Structure 1
Amino acid sequence: MPTTETLERFIARVEQNAHAEACEEFYTGNSSMQENQSAPRVGRDLHIANERKVFARAKSVTSRCVRPVFASGDIVVIRWIFHFEWIDGTITHMEELAYQRWEGERIAEETFFYDPAQRVPKKPQA
């Protein structure tokens, strides 16, 4: 079960757009991440590589936690809003829920729930 201080440090890292670093610091070595009902990615190194790949395509990113954060024992649910401005000039605005199972002070399993239509980049509105 994570402490309140650990949850706040995790949220702060993500809001600083240090997503790869948050994976290094807060996930177990064999953790799994799953997007909706897709097959999970397993292993912290794979999570880190995926985050770096996404951020390499972005010109800018804004990551924001929408409070309250729900925590009950080892289960934590966080509502996130992400805004990506891609190098090609398109944008992606996503809202998701992250359902996490923690083992002590690290995330062991995480599933993201969101509308997949949000992932389609759009041209900025004039």
Structure 2
Amino acid sequence: MKIDHTGYLVRDMEKALAQFEALGYTRDTDIIEDSATRNVALCFLHNGAVRIELVSPLHNGRPSVVDATLQRQGDGPYHICYQLEQPMEDALADLRRQGWLVVTPPEEAVAFGGRRVSFLFRLGVGLIELVEADDETV
């Protein structure tokens, strides 16, 4: 697996974009709204070979999957995403055998054009995201 990006949890997307752009990051995407499943706003940026994803709850009065984490830990690094080089089911089976807990089963992600993602957790490491490889990397 190779690292695809590091996710940063932020309360205010516009403020965070301005802060990361001041650090030399360039936007790879517009702000993507995933209101159907996660109720979050996402934006991908890069600085050289480093790619990040800003993740913020949509402020629309509905709960977001990141509300509790944002309240508990505040703004900051949230997860590391790994792009798979094997089928999702095989990777999940391998990681479960290594003691990882599947937090969210594989589901299509708006931010990845429908490719599936899954989140896993392990004490001592934290939260990771797996994303299926796109056709260009398989």
Q: Do both share a fold (TM > 0.5)?
A: no
TM-score with structure 1 setting the length: 0.30
TM-score with structure 2 setting the length: 0.28
